[in-house]
Homo-oligomer: A and B are copies of this chain.
Amino acid sequence: MQWMYGSGESGASSIQAYHAFRDHVLAAARSRPVESVVLAEGATLAAPRFIPCGDRTLAVVLDVDETAIQNLGYEYDEALRGRSYDEGIWARWEQTGGNAVLPMPGAVTALRAVRAAGVTVIFNSNRVSAYAAQTAAAIEGAGLGPARHRETLWLKGDVGAGSAKDPRRAAISERHCVIAMAGDQLGDFSDLFNVRELSLPDRRRAATSGRFAQMWGNGWFLLSNPVYGPGIRGGFDDVFPADRRWTDPGAGH
């Protein structure tokens, strides 16, 4: 949290991502790409394929939490009380916390430029459908709106019941050609990265090699979030490659 919410480094990282996002979107809006950056049905990690754009209107899709907005109030409460994530508290946060957020650095000016280029800005979040009005107000209060439920704001419960985002991306893609996506979790780009059988090293390998490696900064834009999410897990064997270990030769002397 010190790095994420307090450091100039994380602020710089966010601005850098949004600069790349804006530049990519403005260039893609001029050239009208043939393919969306949303994976097509039937795509796999080994054989990625993207949805053809046809003549659908251009859009970008962003996650909300720690992508568009900083949940400062919630994280403050969590840190102060020394607690971990709690579903009930998060639900109350969605309902009442809208004034205790800030936009991610760089997001406001980037989204303004994207909209000025005629590209629709759509949010795809796992906040729940029941609090759509409060989430829209939080987004708009941070200067990132407009956000209209089921048009430019898609939430958990809108398409199916679960937290998978692919069904919502498919629904968005029926009307739009998505030329960029932004998120802080790999699931903001494809649910394929959240398959339970995927080991942590294989997940990292999938995201950083082959076709997917080319996507970063080039249609897919990652906001660094070391505070929470599926990236914050794993034991020693998952995190540190077995062939890159070292023992201090001075230890115990």
Contact = CB atoms under 8 A, between A and B. Distances in A.
A13 B222 contact: yes
Contact of A203 (B8, B80, B100): B8
A72 interface: yes
A246 B97 contact: yes
Interface stretch (A35-43, A118-126, A206-214): A206-214
B7 A102 contact: no
A79 B234 CA distance: 13
Given A16-B222, A89-B248, A236-B76, A231 B100 contact: no
A32 interface: no
Contacts of A10: 224, 226, 231
A249 B186 contact: no
A145 interface: no
Count the copies. Answer: 2
A77 B248 contact: yes
A2 interface: yes
A50 interface: no
A131 interface: no
B193 A231 contact: no
A92 B249 contact: yes
A52 B194 CA distance: 49
Interface in A33-69: none
Contacts of A77: 245-248, 251
Contacts of A140: none
A207 B12 contact: yes
A93 B247 CA distance: 9
